[in-house]
Amino acid sequence: MCEEKVVTTAETLYQLQQADDDVRAKEKRLAKVEGQLGESEELHAARASLEEAEAELYELEKKQRQQELELKTVASKIESEESRLYGGRVTNPKELAGLQKEVRYLKERRVDIEDSLLETMMSREETASRVKERKATLEKIESGWESAQSTLATERDQLESDLAELQRRRTHLIDEIPPDVLSTYDYLRRLKGSAVAQFENGMCMGCRVGLSTVDRHRAKSGDLTTCSNCGRLLVVM
């Protein structure tokens, strides 16, 4: 029957350091994921671009309707004035001259309106085409954004679950470490970034400096030992 391996304090400290490294990495990733959740600048810009084109199209359509109404009014007035001019009811030369002048003016006005209306219709068609293109672009961006948001939300949930499990594991490990040793661990972690280094081939893997014979023996025996060069706690894996 195999005896259960006794976990040394150094090994527990190393496990705690791994948990803390994982927590730090996952918290960093979680912050980035949360920052990417929500509408992107690209989406805002595409929506604003479409709204701008749609507003321009609305104004052009309104302008076209006004010009068409004005053209219809002028055409009706020309028909009415020409009816008076050629109907034989007006015989006064001065009044006839006035009617002829009015008809000429109205016909010139009709030409101007028709030219303006043609320009408006061309602009409306170009803008309608632009609206269609921008709408397609927005739909494509929205589709990609929605897919990315779904992926990010799933990753966020997984990260939150992982962090909760890591915190539970961390609490369990801390309960196994003497308070004074834990204080040393926290101090070294703040000072050096890592508090525990592996001991391999007679060397501290934290600073890559060889240990004395005494320190080697202590580390191998399971006693809590620090590197005489960098001060990190040593663990034999």
Asked if the model's pLDDT at residue 82 lies above 90, the reply is: no
Query: Averaged over 52-75, what is the pLDDT?
Result: 97
pLDDT digits (tens, 9 = 90+) for 24-42: 999 999 999 999 999 999 9
DSSP lists the bridge partners of residue 196 as 233
- Distance of alpha carbon 112 from alpha carbon 51, whole angstroms: 31
Query: Which one has a higher pLDDT value, 95 or 33?
Result: 33
Could you say which of 2.60.40.1760, 1.10.760.10, 1.10.287.1700, 3.40.50.300 is the CATH number of the domain covering 40-172? 1.10.287.1700
pLDDT in tens, 181-231: 999 999 999 999 999 999 888 899 999 999 888 878 887 777 788 898 899
**Predicted local confidence at residue 89, as pLDDT:** 80
pLDDT at residue 217, rounded to an integer: 81
pLDDT at 4 over 60: no
| Predicted structure pTM score | 0.69
Q: Where are the domains of the chain?
A: 9-27+175-235, 40-172
**pLDDT tens for residues 104-159?**
999 999 999 999 999 999 999 999 999 999 999 999 999 999 999 999 999 999 99
- Nearest partner of 204 among 185, 230, 223, judged by Cα: 230
